[in-house]
A and B are shown apart, each in its own frame.
Chain A
């Protein structure tokens, strides 16, 4: 548990840059891994595809998951990783532009820990990211991954 790995699943390079910047500014993660679509995110988590050979037992402390993604969308990613015991307990924060109640309901139903709507006002976004980071990465206690 030395590295605080954060998996950012985001296909929009602007949002990616801004999110990375916000995380960096507040020094919230040791390592941020970016996946640009759902498949890539799953590959990283399960050590498959481009991430073949990666030690899949090293899991991120937090997943920031966008919903609207190429190939496999955010909700499907959530569904899959909640279906596998190793990834089941990773805190997942949905970070999305969508304010649709439908998306929100579905996210919680599938086991999202939090749902954050990306604000346009980026200062507020940084604020939100800071809160998120400090809660999920600093305050939140997770069970031992070796279990």
Chain B
């Protein structure tokens, strides 16, 4: 029963007592009594009014506020009644205190909640709360990031959306563990990333209860970087353990070796355990601690990224081998170490030594050969000098005394004897010509080329005039082409033309009207030709054409020493050109030549084919 109602009953009871008193009063009729009774009634009414004002109204106000407080509705502390009965006032005060206390508590709770949320959101480890059926209730950004998604996107997924099928069995086992022990993991699995690839993760979890409902609380770590780092580490270890190259890691402070490649261990003869006790100074015995520190100072200070030097390493057995060292230094992440790659120079040094020996040998060989060659050349020179002098002298005697015989005793000799003497003289003269030609041939190889522009047409005209002077009776036409300027040695080119035109002159001697053409090929740059309509030759013997002393004709038909074309070829050779010929017996011959304009040998055959097609 509420207080106001109790008050109402009290008031009603008072009224009833008052009414009874009035009734008593009326029946007694006593004026005094009536007046006393009225006074009592008035005072009772006054008391009732006071009661309502001081107790009932503040209580009602208080009741409304308390109800609002219960409903967690905002309350203005000024609404709390301050008047009324003493108890009421105290009650109001207590209520106001209660409200302020609650506000403090609420603020505390909000702060606490915010802090927890911040912890949750900023945790680098993925955190997720999901229901037993797998639907995600709450996840933090780290968890969403593992999946490559936002928190909102992730909350639309269930646990099964991000678990590859291959893990279903494993997941069942973990759920079983969860039911039995209230926790699961840690174990490793993979999540399906938003872009489809699988992310390795490590999970641990708890079964939690809230309001009678079970949830799974999971902690998830992304193992990608770990996994990558560990693969890298494994590979590096593998390299160190298996490489035949020599590389070394040693501590930047203590200088002790940290890791040595297999190649280095094998070359040095130490075990890894032994090496851990050593420093580079145990290998590089040419250095002291001071000189080595000085050596590596530039890379240690970062002045140079790499240091390359040569020294030698001492093996366990005390032997040495030459090395090239490529040294780097790192103090990344506060860990200082040196990394050295070593090249064993034994092989290279041996090769260099051998090469040097070879070179020396070669040089002495070349010097010896050069000396020999010089001696041979000198001999040849004196030989040709002596040929030019001494070989000719007896010939002169043969010729001279034959002539003397003919002149002084001609009348005493018959025709046959004179014919014999004539033959002796011709023989001597032919041999003299041969000697001259041979000397010329040898001189062409020796002399230096004096290159200049030469007009072959002018030169040919001059040579031709000389030839014509030897026999005015003959009729041979020389047809010259245009633009026959070449680069070459004028002296040698004159010998060349003298021989080629001389041949053409000689071999057309059987023709009534000889015709010689000297021109250049229109379709091939730098190729010249001298064609005649003379005796020609059999192409079967074309190989012998340019050999010294090789003749394709009988001397009785066409005199000659057989050296002329050998001289021609040597002159062409000296100019870096080529010469070749085509002919038909009785129809004439054509000599083609170039002067160093680089005609490939194959062109010879092509040219021949072209000619045949024509």
Contact = CB atoms under 8 A, between A and B. Distances in A.
Given A96-B389, A120-B429, A14 B396 contact: yes
Given A97-B392, A122-B396, 6 more contacts: A18-B396, A18-B400, A21-B404, A98-B388, A120-B399, A120-B431
Contacts, number: 58
Nearest to A12: B393
9 contacts: A14-B393, A18-B401, A97-B390, A98-B385, A98-B389, A120-B395, A120-B429, A121-B425, A122-B396
A21 B396 CA distance: 14
Interface string B393-428: 111110111011000000000000000000001001
B439 interface: yes
A121 B428 CA distance: 8
A125 interface: yes
Interface in A120-143: 120-123, 125
Nearest to A68: B389
B550 interface: no
A122 B396 CA distance: 7
Contact of A122 (B403, B436, B439): B403
A121 B429 CA distance: 6
Nearest to A13: B397
B385 A100 contact: yes
Which has the most chain B C-beta neighbours within 10 Å: A14, A98, A121, A125? A121
A125 B429 CA distance: 13
Contacts of B428: 120
A125 B393 CA distance: 13
A119 to B, nearest CB: 8
Which has the most chain B C-beta neighbours within 10 Å: A14, A18, A97, A125? A97
B388 A100 contact: yes
Contacts of B403: 122-123
Interface residues of A, number: 18
B158 interface: no
B396 A120 contact: yes
A18 B403 CA distance: 10
Given A18-B404, A98-B385, A121 B392 contact: no
A15 B388 contact: no
A119 B390 CA distance: 13
A97 B436 CA distance: 11
B264 to A, nearest CB: 70
Nearest to B403: A122
A99 B388 contact: yes
A125 B403 CA distance: 11
A118 interface: yes
A125 B389 contact: no
Contact of B393 (A15, A119, A123): A15
Given A68-B389, A118-B392, A99 B439 contact: yes
Interface in A1-36: 12, 14-15, 18, 21
Contacts of B429: 120-121
B396 A15 contact: yes
A122 B400 contact: yes
Which has the most chain A C-beta neighbours within 10 Å: B390, B403, B431? B403
A99 B436 contact: yes
B33 interface: no
B279 interface: no
A119 B395 CA distance: 10
Contacts of A121: 399, 425, 429, 432
Contacts of B385: 98, 100
A15 B399 contact: no
A100 B388 CA distance: 8
B397 A18 contact: yes
Contacts of A97: 388-390, 392-393, 396
Interface in B369-403: 385, 388-390, 392-397, 399-401, 403
Given A15-B397, A98-B385, A120 B392 contact: yes
